[in-house]
Chain A
């Protein structure tokens, strides 16, 4: 092979209490697609953030085109032709596509017309249908990702790093992204994928690097890779197989129902329109759809976090439509939110205190009017043990945990709070295989206890393995309700992107 574009040699990075990267060496060749595979907390994002100048390595050297470089900021990285697309996009919603792309890369007077033409032309070369003059907030998530990619292309990136790029895409959009990647590397550029989805890895990458516990524990050419071996390398042991209990939920009584639920806003399209469905006790109903099609709004409406314009929500024969969030919690609804950082956890509170959050009014942890810290700590220790949370003790703050371990805490809390019903909004997004397995196991356990379960996921495989019935949500409306045996991923994918094909609704 020729001179690699990027060589990272013996990189070590420590955060105050965690070693994120330990003597990691990695090279990226011209025209290569490297998949960086590993659990969350394995150090994949960290090593790439070092390359992109967001973190500085404590030890080690980075060479670009064979020349040692000091990358002190993302500006340095961009100058060297390295661009990174973060998991959470860094776009200004109130600005147009063009403004977002030239942000920080222009001086003096701006000729918007010319820039817009330039960007439209750039989009055309790669077949992106992104309107250059449109406001970013009006774009779908998939299109926003394209804006991010265009931004990188506009900066003449030779090495494009993408952190979990397919998490927000439909299968069709994913295919298109992969096509772009192929086209892009053919021109001699390189791509690094940070991912833990094996399918993608097998699809498009030329080389697969596996990380575990801050170190590289294997690198294989795509031809030699097989999925079971990869997953074993990633988590260090093999996973037990999940068995879904046979259906039969339909015969059980309905525990939860939504009737004609709508959320409308002034002079804007409705967030939700005329949503009706039932959940039987012990049933998992899976909501498929590209994120941003009303799933989060639906969950929030059910939990009382968003006012409902029309319709009703009934839990166990009781109308809960207009109750406050606190009353919803008291009525026995648990909600695993999709945005853990913002809504799910208080990062500066300890694990024990995070477990207490939903019970801040209840009598459960009260003794003589005070908090019963001893009992709470014992409970937190039990949670840590039961869910195998990697934490020394319940007093460590939430931020010191990796994403997967944080999610375990949230899931534990919501499962406890949701005596009758639990909503899981993208419960496994950004998690590693081990943690995903835990979450899935928990969902099935709660189903077995006879709780009503609403699962929102953008991962069709997850929807298909867990759900008793599948609902497709598109632009705030139900595009169809099916049994998993009646449909396949392709059809669901089409419904997710708004195709109807004259399907009969159930």
Chain B
């Protein structure tokens, strides 16, 4: 089987799975007295109704790309970093603090640069700490990363009530950051900002890192057989810290682009599901950065369509969650089925080859 037909098959089956997921979730609507087909039509028409909404798809996809990459790169090294949410928060906290502290004092591009750096390194530091605990004390990174999210969420809440709280003291949020420190909008009449490009660039970079460099090769080798890698001079402990550092860095960077690109302030419960969606999207994209790009756009679209659908009709918001869930399940099933089919195909071909022998 050639690469091309394989890609075409993958595309077709994923498309069918998405359709099936959408149809099934909309099949629930008649029970609520809502016409499903018109809602479905409304979903698509609202999704692509105008330039701004289409742009929103990509704006929503950007942080998902980064948190999915965060999970994927650790996963490639057989590590489970499910604390992207916490690292995302740390990134957001660092970015907003640096921005609020430095804006209008130094050139704007420097503020953005330093905020991005601070956000990434903040997330990276949390990741590296998790890696260190695993490498040194064999702490389970799954649990540590999961629990770290709760700790960080509380920390963020505390900061929003104290040091970072807005001057008006009305809501649990920081002051807005100065427009000069915003990530510039790059497509007119939309909210598509520089962060979207940076997220895509990050996906390409991670792809190059994983598959085109020796450093990425080491990450994968450790993930596939740590013992063999050790015998070949690669220290799994070092790799563990390094990989989780990069993983946290990506999630922290997502925090930065959300603060400086989209929200322009830090609010309590900012993108509270970006971490868990990242995990699902990474699995959907089979931990491949390019697959993640497509999966993130898909979910960006569903989220955007869902929001607008809620605004223009009386479809409950929960139906959108249901839809996202169904789509994910069906895509996963389609992967499994495709794998099975291709396996039995090779078997049949082999059987023929043997008879001709």
Smallest Cβ-Cβ distance to A305: which chain B residue: B231
Identify which of A72-80, A264-272, A321-329, A495-503 touches chain B.
Answer: A321-329
Cβ of A392 within 8 Å of any chain B Cβ, yes or no, is no
Chain A neighbourhood of B229, CB < 8 A? 346, 357
Cβ of B350 within 8 Å of any chain A Cβ, yes or no, is yes
- Inter-subunit contact A349/B221 (CB<8 Å): yes
Identify which of B30-38, B159-167, B210-218 touches chain A.
Answer: B210-218
Cβ of A358 within 8 Å of any chain B Cβ, yes or no, is yes
Q: B224-253 vs A: 1/0 string, CB under 8 Å?
A: 110111111111000000000000000000
Chain B neighbourhood of A58, CB < 8 A? 347
A87 to chain B, nearest CB (A): 19
Cβ of B168 within 8 Å of any chain A Cβ, yes or no, is no
- Inter-subunit contact A353/B233 (CB<8 Å): no
Cβ of A440 within 8 Å of any chain B Cβ, yes or no, is no
Cβ of B220 within 8 Å of any chain A Cβ, yes or no, is yes
Contact of A344 among B208, B217, B228 (CB under 8 A): B228
Contact of B233 among A14, A342, A358 (CB under 8 A): A358
- Inter-subunit contact A346/B228 (CB<8 Å): yes
- Inter-subunit contact A337/B231 (CB<8 Å): yes
Chain B neighbourhood of A305, CB < 8 A? 230-231
- Inter-subunit contact A370/B212 (CB<8 Å): yes
Q: How far is the CA of A18 from the CA of B346 in the complex (A)?
A: 9
Cβ of B351 within 8 Å of any chain A Cβ, yes or no, is yes
Cβ of B1 within 8 Å of any chain A Cβ, yes or no, is no
Chain B neighbourhood of A365, CB < 8 A? 214
Q: How far is the CA of A63 from the CA of B191 in the complex (A)?
A: 72
A359 to chain B, nearest CB (A): 8
- Inter-subunit contact B346/A360 (CB<8 Å): no
Smallest Cβ-Cβ distance to B348: which chain A residue: A14
Within 8 A of B (CB), among A342-400: 342-349, 353, 356-358, 360-361, 365-366, 369-371, 373
Smallest Cβ-Cβ distance to A326: which chain B residue: B233
Cβ of B106 within 8 Å of any chain A Cβ, yes or no, is no
Q: How far is the CA of A361 from the CA of B214 in the complex (A)?
A: 7
Within 8 A of A (CB), among B189-226: 208, 212-214, 217-218, 220-221, 224-225
- With A16-B343, A349-B224 already in contact, the answer to whether A360 and B212 are too (CB < 8 A) is no
Cβ of B354 within 8 Å of any chain A Cβ, yes or no, is yes
Q: How many contacts between A and B, using CB within 8 angstroms? A: 86
Max count, chain B CB within 10 A of own CB: residue among A346, A349, A353, A371: A346
- Inter-subunit contact A360/B213 (CB<8 Å): no
- Inter-subunit contact B234/A360 (CB<8 Å): yes
Cβ of A163 within 8 Å of any chain B Cβ, yes or no, is no
Smallest Cβ-Cβ distance to B222: which chain A residue: A346
Cβ of A446 within 8 Å of any chain B Cβ, yes or no, is no
Smallest Cβ-Cβ distance to B349: which chain A residue: A17
A267 to chain B, nearest CB (A): 23
Cβ of A141 within 8 Å of any chain B Cβ, yes or no, is no
Chain B neighbourhood of A347, CB < 8 A? 224-225
- With A326-B233, A361-B233, A370-B212 already in contact, the answer to whether A353 and B217 are too (CB < 8 A) is yes
Chain A neighbourhood of B221, CB < 8 A? 346, 349, 353, 357, 360
- Tally of A interface residues using CB under 8 Å: 37
- Inter-subunit contact A345/B217 (CB<8 Å): no
Within 8 A of B (CB), among A295-315: 303, 305
A6 to chain B, nearest CB (A): 25
- With A16-B346, A347-B225, A348-B224 already in contact, the answer to whether A371 and B230 are too (CB < 8 A) is no
- With A16-B343, A360-B221 already in contact, the answer to whether A369 and B213 are too (CB < 8 A) is yes
Chain B interface extent, by class = 20 to 34
Chain A neighbourhood of B346, CB < 8 A? 16-17
Chain B neighbourhood of A360, CB < 8 A? 214, 217-218, 221, 232-234
Secondary structure type dominating chain B contacts: helix
- Inter-subunit contact B212/A357 (CB<8 Å): no
B283 to chain A, nearest CB (A): 18
Contact of A346 among B214, B224, B235 (CB under 8 A): B224
Contact of B208 among A16, A17, A346, A370 (CB under 8 A): A370
Contact of B350 among A14, A330, A335, A370 (CB under 8 A): A14
Q: How far is the CA of A344 from the CA of B230 in the complex (A)?
A: 10
Max count, chain A CB within 10 A of own CB: residue among B225, B228, B346: B228
Q: How far is the CA of A397 from the CA of B140 in the complex (A)?
A: 30
Contact of B228 among A16, A303, A357, A373 (CB under 8 A): A357
- Inter-subunit contact B347/A14 (CB<8 Å): yes
Q: How far is the CA of A357 from the CA of B227 in the complex (A)?
A: 12
Chain A neighbourhood of B212, CB < 8 A? 370-371, 373
Cβ of A19 within 8 Å of any chain B Cβ, yes or no, is yes
- Inter-subunit contact A19/B217 (CB<8 Å): no
Contact of B232 among A19, A22, A329, A348 (CB under 8 A): A329
- Inter-subunit contact B228/A345 (CB<8 Å): yes
Q: How far is the CA of A335 from the CA of B230 in the complex (A)?
A: 13
- Inter-subunit contact B233/A325 (CB<8 Å): yes
- Inter-subunit contact A342/B228 (CB<8 Å): yes
B25 to chain A, nearest CB (A): 35
Q: How far is the CA of A329 from the CA of B232 in the complex (A)?
A: 8
Max count, chain B CB within 10 A of own CB: residue among A342, A358, A371: A371
Q: How far is the CA of A369 from the CA of B231 in the complex (A)?
A: 24
Smallest Cβ-Cβ distance to A214: which chain B residue: B354
Chain B neighbourhood of A349, CB < 8 A? 220-221, 224
B76 to chain A, nearest CB (A): 11
- Inter-subunit contact A346/B225 (CB<8 Å): yes
- Inter-subunit contact A343/B228 (CB<8 Å): yes
Contact of A358 among B213, B224, B227, B232 (CB under 8 A): B232
- With A16-B347, A19-B354 already in contact, the answer to whether A345 and B225 are too (CB < 8 A) is yes
A125 to chain B, nearest CB (A): 41
B348 to chain A, nearest CB (A): 9
Chain B neighbourhood of A16, CB < 8 A? 343, 346-347
Of the A-B pairs whose beta carbons lie under 8 Å apart in the complex, a sample of 29, sorted by A's number, is A14-B347, A14-B350, A18-B350, A22-B354, A58-B347, A303-B231, A305-B230, A324-B235, A325-B235, A326-B233, A328-B233, A330-B233, A337-B231, A342-B225, A343-B227, A344-B228, A344-B231, A346-B228, A347-B224, A348-B224, A349-B220, A349-B221, A357-B232, A360-B217, A361-B234, A366-B214, A370-B212, A371-B214, A373-B212
Binding site for B on A (CB under 8 A): 14, 16-19, 22, 58, 303, 305, 324-326, 328-330, 335, 337, 342-349, 353, 356-358, 360-361, 365-366, 369-371, 373
Binding site for A on B (CB under 8 A): 208, 212-214, 217-218, 220-221, 224-225, 227-235, 343, 346-347, 350-351, 354
10 cross-chain pairs, A with B, having the tightest CB-CB distances, nearest first: A326-B233, A357-B232, A346-B225, A343-B231, A348-B224, A325-B233, A329-B233, A346-B224, A370-B212, A358-B232
